[in-house]
Copies of this chain bind each other. A is one copy, B any other.
Amino acid sequence: MRMGVDELRDLANGAAFLGAGGGGDPYIGRLLATSAIEEFGAPELVSAEDINDEARVLTIAMLGAPTVILEKAVSGDDIEFVIRSLEAKLDQKADYLMSIEIGGVNSLVPVMAAARLGLPLIDADGMGRAFPAIQMVTFNAFGVSATPLVMADDHGTSMVVEAPTAEAAEDIVRAASVPLGCSAVISCYPMLGRQVKDCAVLGTLSLARSIGKIIADNQQSEDPVESLVAHLRTTPYYSRCEILFDGKVVDVRRELRDGFSVGTVRLQSLKSETSIMEVQFQNEFLVAKLNGKTKAIVPDLVCLVDRETAQPILADGVRYGQRIKVLGVSAPSVMRADESLSIFGPQAFRMDEPFVPLEDL
């Protein structure tokens, strides 16, 4: 199928939902992809099973502080430069592009890139959600090297990085992104078709689009959130899904720490004033606690949606007084594997408690 302008609204909105509060503003992502499709045509979306084992697959994403990405966006030239540089480094042309994460910006930037470069886009990513650091992908959990990696801004500054670990690559790239204005285009985890089949979370762009479509189609229904939950229960990854809380925001604490947006959202139940949910975030929502008891924890998804419309709400967009339903959604099973939990389980976010699947909480 083609990923055309008509598909973008739903993709952007569904990706914002799966971004679990992070992943950037879907409006920006959609604008970027729309303009590229109008100029270069709609890229083809292909299933991982349809690609050759030896095909060269490159990823493309934006890296930086979400609020800055919102203002700076990407020029397109930087995307082309990054892909061409990595092709030169590998001495091999890209056959396919792929997303690293599902989120409002980083699901749409690959659409923009695929349109611009005339390359097909693989229906997959490395998380089935959004995360704040380069090492936090299934690719890394299952042995794909994060480097060689290329990062560039739109003023002609670029770097080709090699590093022994994905964490080392993350450290150097994160530090170097600051003088680049906290926003840059990046391509990492260059891989082959067979590695995509082995390591990626498959079908996630289609899934994101189907989630966005359900939200849009059910705006006039009696309970859009219930419709969304019913749909999630039919999906392969996100079928364990619960409405954890229905309440209003009574406090938001948010600070910028080490380049991350970190804080806590406090919600009070609409039915009982003494029932309180606290949701902690680091760019993405990490854990939801009902009266102090954990109800869902990373890598499972904690998603906040408008209680009337089911529209996803980003961590940076939570405001006092909003009426919100908090959803707990199961992460894809590959994300719950031991290899994965060591990289992006609760400990990776300095939390003391172990991961427990939300269906067991």
Query: Which of B156, B161, B175, B179 is close to A158, meaning CB atoms less than 8 Å apart?
Result: B161
State how many residues of chain A have any CB contact under 8 Å with chain B: 20
Could you tell me if A159 and B156 are in contact, using CB atoms closer than 8 angstroms?
no
Interface on chain A toward B: helix, strand, loop, or mixed SS?
mixed
Q: How many identical chains are in the complex?
A: 2
Could you tell me if A161 and B157 are in contact, using CB atoms closer than 8 angstroms?
yes
Q: Does A155 contact B (CB under 8 A)?
A: yes
Could you tell me if B162 and A158 are in contact, using CB atoms closer than 8 angstroms?
yes
Question: Which parts of A149-163 form the interface with B (CB within 8 Å)?
Answer: 155-163
> Looking at the complex, which of A93-101, A164-172, A297-305, A331-339 is the stretch in contact with chain B?
A164-172
Q: How long is the Cα–Cα vector from A178 to B178 in the complex, in angstroms?
A: 12
Question: Which parts of A129-184 form the interface with B (CB within 8 Å)?
Answer: 155-164, 168-169, 171-172, 174-176, 178-180
Could you tell me if B159 and A172 are in contact, using CB atoms closer than 8 angstroms?
yes
Q: How long is the Cα–Cα vector from A178 to B164 in the complex, in angstroms?
A: 17
| Chain B positions within 8 Å of A180 at CB level | 172
* Interface residue ranges, A against B (CB under 8 Å): 155-164, 168-169, 171-172, 174-176, 178-180
A156-B164, A158-B162, A159-B176 known; 20 new pairs, CB 8 Å cut-off, are A155-B164, A155-B168, A156-B162, A156-B163, A157-B161, A157-B168, A158-B161, A159-B160, A159-B161, A159-B162, A159-B172, A160-B160, A168-B179, A171-B179, A172-B179, A174-B179, A175-B175, A175-B178, A175-B179, A176-B176
